[in-house]
Amino acid sequence: MAKNIFTKGQHVSLQSRVGLSPRTPTEFTVLLRLPDNGGKPQYRIRNEDQGHERVEQGSNLELIEAVKST
């Protein structure tokens, strides 16, 4: 199975922010998986606080682990 596969609703952050505005949000929610681009998975992601949406390759996304309550 390919690495960097995410599902709708997961919270992710960008691994690389090179070339992005400092105002670009840091945390996003996966909205949907798009068709692969050159064999690489890509996703539409959204920051709910700012309503900022973008498309990113799975290789640039990192899962934000949910905080587990004890």
What is the per-residue pLDDT across 21-51, written as a single tens digit (0 to 9) for each? 888 888 999 999 999 999 999 999 999 998 9
Is the whole-model pTM more than 0.85?
Answer: no
Percent of the chain with pLDDT over 90: 63
Of 14 and 66, which is predicted with more confidence? 14
**Cα-only R_g, the chain:** 12
Helices (H) and strands (E) in the chain, counts: 0, 5
Give the model's pLDDT for residue 1: 42
